[in-house]
Amino acid sequence: MTMVEIERKFLVKSLPDGLQGGTPILQGYLAHDEHMEVRIRQLGDKYFLAVKEGAGPMRRETEVNISPRQFHALWPSTEGRRLEKVRSLVDHGSCRMEVDRYLGDLEPLLVAEVGFSSVEESERFEKPDYLGQEITEMEAYKNISLAIHGIPEGPALDYQVGALPFLFRGGRLHLVIVTNTAQTRWIIPKGQPEPDMSRQDVAVMEAMEEAGTIGSCLPGFRVLCRRKGEKTLYIYPLKVTTVLKKWPEMDWRKRAVLPVNKALKMISDPDLSQCILRLTSRMLA
């Protein structure tokens, strides 16, 4: 089935009164570029493959039913490009809204999509008080961006960006870890976001400055790490191509290249250690 969608998307400040239950959605992306997305979705007990074309409030969507077996056969190809949410339907005047409550790393994000029968109707729409900022044209709030990059960047003080430099020695995965500047505990390279740089570029920079490793971020992989008493940390695995003998912060930090299990034992923060374990398990799956 092919249709033209006319939709506007808003952040939700608070859930509408009486909103209960909802339908669980598991969604992953097989391919994408700036003009097209190919995704698979489990909506309750139904399964779909869809192709979306275009951007903004008007998009062309072609959707076909697939079997559970086909869905599960394709699902591994969406690794690193997945999201999970619960969808509830809300009527507002003549409009039907889909309110999505995101789960996992995207929690507590709340988003509402409002569908319209015409562009004129969409322009006349008056949003209820529980809807906040409109995000229809914001790339960072597209589902594909959320699936790959997580919740869009907020103020610089809200989070940090970390790198997990890795390489293989003797066929075994090794991690590059460093100490803090006081050399009292082992951590991973991390720092504050930069306004003119992507998170991945920040991770590359921090890995070079703090650990003396040069490489590139592994496409489609990252983990959102929430730590007690610490800022939220976005961790990106970095495939190391060069280990420098001299690097900017070598006078203040120690560096170690260790097999995963040994590296995890060295890291003192149990929350950080668990996040790294989750990420490396996905990388080796």
Catalytic residue numbers, as ranges: 29
Picking from 105, 66, 62, the residue whose alpha carbon sits closest to that of residue 82 is 105
Angle at 274 between CA 270 and CA 279, to 5 degrees: 150
Q: CA-to-CA distance for 78 and 143, rounded, in angstroms?
A: 13
Nearest to 176 by CA among 251, 246, 263: 263
112 neighbors 99 (Cβ within 8 angstroms): yes
| Cβ-based neighbour number of residue 270 at 10 Å | 11
238 in Cβ contact with 212 (< 8 Å): no
Instruction: Confirm if 243 and 212 have CB atoms less than 8 A apart.
Output: yes
- DSSP secondary structure string for all residues of 150-214: -SPP--GGGEEEEEEEEEEETTEEEEEEEE-TTSSSEE--EE---TTS-HHHHHHHHHHHHH-EE
* Cβ–Cβ < 8 Å for 235, 163: yes
CA 169/CA 106 separation, integer angstroms: 34
> Tokens at residue 279, please?
């990420």
Cα–Cα distance, 98 to 35 (Å, whole number): 23
Among 103, 99, 88, which Cα is nearest to 44's?
88
